[in-house]
Chains A and B, each alone.
Chain A
Amino acid sequence: AQSVTQLDSQVPVFEEAPVELRCNYSSSVSVYLFWYVQYPNQGLQLLLKYLSGSTLVKGINGFEAEFNKSQTSFHLRKPSVHISDTAEYFCAVSGPSFGATNKLIFGTGTLLAVQP
């Protein structure tokens, strides 16, 4: 079974500052890792995903994440945030046979609050 932990429930940051949202996972098998974003009153939208290959993954809106197997982490970063990045961010993990035999498990979310 897999699990994911987002240690920070809320991250306040000033506009144009860099940000890192932390995500740690646990699993006894290889994993797929995801970051989703949820804007107010909307569904979740995929930011980026790691399935295999390069450990540095680039996503939409200037976000990137790095898979660190030894640290069991998948932290999300952006070098310069905008007011429009204010949203809830969810880290998620699944096993390698996603869909047929596994399911996507979400963390508790981190609210990114960008201040002017």
Chain B
Amino acid sequence: DAGVIQSPRHEVTEMGQEVTLRCKPISGHNSLFWYRQTMMRGLELLIYFNNNVPIDDSGMPEDRFSAKMPNASFSTLKIQPSEPRDSAVYFCASSGQGALYGANVLTFGAGSRLTVL
């Protein structure tokens, strides 16, 4: 398996622009997580899905952030409009259930580094 795939790896945009980050989880995994990492706040859980359904979005900073998971193999995190304080590395991670899929273990993507000017 290619692991969790995130795109783009790097994004530089101007304040006010829309940003869309994409994630393809590991095939067979049924839980998907979006984290944000900054020097000031460390790793923050933004939202997570189970079987494509959002379970907990209490970490989403504000209405400018939205996340979707239209099917088991794809998720997006959108920021509209973006602000400089959104600059961070955004990680997607997935997890399966049962011993076959490594239950209770998160597999992380390489991250998307976002810079908002």
Contacts and interface: CB of A to CB of B under 8 A. Distances in A.
A45 interface: yes
B42 A108 contact: yes
Interface string B27-62: 000110101000000110100101000011000000
Q: Give the top 3 A-B pairs by smallest Cβ distance, nearest first.
A: A43-B108, A99-B31, A106-B43
B95 A98 contact: yes
A15 to B, nearest CB: 27
Main SS at interface, chain B: strand
A106 B42 CA distance: 9
Interface in A79-100: 90, 94, 98-100
A3 to B, nearest CB: 13
Interface footprint category on A: 20 to 34
Given A36-B108, A43-B110, A94-B104, 14 more contacts: A43-B111, A44-B106, A44-B108, A45-B108, A46-B106, A46-B107, A51-B104, A98-B95, A99-B31, A99-B97, A103-B45, A103-B48, A107-B42, A108-B42
Interface in B1-25: 4
Contacts of A98: 95, 103-104
Interface string A26-47: 0000001010100000111110
Contacts of A105: 45
Nearest to A44: B108
A104 B110 CA distance: 18
Contacts of B43: 90, 106, 109
B109 A43 contact: yes
B52 to A, nearest CB: 13
Contacts of A45: 108
A74 to B, nearest CB: 15
Given A99-B31, A104-B45, A49 B104 contact: yes
18 contacts: A34-B105, A36-B106, A42-B110, A43-B91, A43-B108, A44-B106, A45-B108, A46-B105, A49-B104, A90-B43, A98-B95, A99-B31, A99-B97, A99-B103, A101-B55, A105-B45, A106-B42, A109-B43
Contacts of A101: 55
